[in-house]
């Protein structure tokens, strides 16, 4: 059932979190390999970094002794040219990825892991658009 109360309706993704055992190593991967930029964190703790993609959605890297979640959850990040993104990661950065797959709605995606074992999905825009 869809809520008609606009005050509690979810509107956008603010941030996703990824646990890591070495936040500095994880930060280098996310910046150098995926091109996500670090932004000032808005909390006074030392065990995390805040990053942001151009849409405004943030990625929080949280240093935790247990490392990545098991099984690894993931977030999906859209790119304009999925073939070029995969080629860049594989050939220029030496990153292992899955093959590109296509969903029923035409959306294409592939997966990779960061240095901490966290799963990351790289995808095209969904083929069915906004449904709600």
pLDDT tens, residue by residue, 61-115: 999 999 888 877 899 999 999 999 999 999 999 999 999 999 988 999 999 999 9
Here the CATH number for the domain that contains residue 52 is: 3.10.180.10
Structural domains of the chain, count = 1
pTM assigned to the model: 0.86
Is 95 inside a domain boundary?
yes
In a domain, 80, yes or no: yes
Q: What is the residue-wise DSSP string for 35-78? A: -PEEE--SS--SSEEEEE-TTS-EEEEEE-TT-S-SS--EEEEE
Distance of alpha carbon 69 from alpha carbon 74, whole angstroms: 10
Place of tokens 């996703």: 16
Could you tell me if 120 and 111 are in contact, meaning their C-beta atoms sit under 8 angstroms apart? yes
Tell me the residue range of the domain where 51 lies: 15-123
Q: Is residue 31 part of a domain?
A: yes
């Amino acid at each position: 059932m869809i809520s008609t109360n606009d005050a509690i309706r979810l509107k956008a993704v603010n941030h996703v979190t990824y646990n890591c055992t070495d936040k500095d190593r994880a930060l280098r991967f996310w910046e150098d390999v995926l091109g996500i930029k670090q932004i000032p964190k808005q909390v006074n703790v030392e065990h995390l970094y805040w990053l942001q993609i151009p849409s405004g959605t943030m990625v929080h890297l949280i240093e935790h002794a247990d490392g990545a979640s098991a099984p690894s959850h993931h977030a999906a990040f859209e790119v304009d040219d999925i073939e070029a993104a995969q080629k860049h990661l594989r050939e220029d950065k030496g990153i292992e990825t899955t093959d590109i797959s296509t969903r029923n709605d035409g959306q294409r995606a592939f997966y990779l892991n960061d240095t901490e074992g966290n799963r990351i999905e790289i995808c095209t825009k969904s083929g069915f658009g906004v449904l709600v």
